[in-house]
Amino acid sequence: MRDNPEIGPLEAISQSIEMMDGHKMRLFVLVLSFIGWFLLGIITFGIGLIWVIPYYRTTIANFYQDLIGNENYSVE
């Protein structure tokens, strides 16, 4: 809905489902690759999470940008 404020919540969910079709495993593997970093951040009593969390969020945002750029899907 942030990319297209004119659509409603149900339409945004429908577009999200359509956009993620065939890409769920890629996202799963990407999130799984951060398990070690999160454990390391927890072992350091949370101090390491200061760097891990922004890195994780940036990676997820880049995944979204890659998904939008590589699909024949356009946000209208």
What does the pLDDT look like over 18-27, one tens digit per residue?
999 999 999 9
Question: Which residue range is the domain that position 58 belongs to?
Answer: 9-70
1 is a domain residue: no
2 is a domain residue: no
**In angstroms, rounded to a whole number, what is the distance separating the alpha carbons of residues 71 and 65?**
10
Burial 44-68 (b: 16+ CB within 10 A, else e): eeeebbeebeeebeeeeeeeeeeee
The number of domains in the chain is 1
User: Which amino acid is located at 53 in the chain?
Assistant: I
H runs (alpha helix) in the chain: 9-20, 24-32, 35-43, 49-70
23 is a domain residue: yes
15 is a domain residue: yes
75 is a domain residue: no
For residues 30 and 63, the answer to whether their CB atoms sit within 8 Å is yes
Task: Quote the pTM value.
Answer: 0.81
54 is a domain residue: yes
4 is a domain residue: no
pLDDT for the residue numbered 49: 96
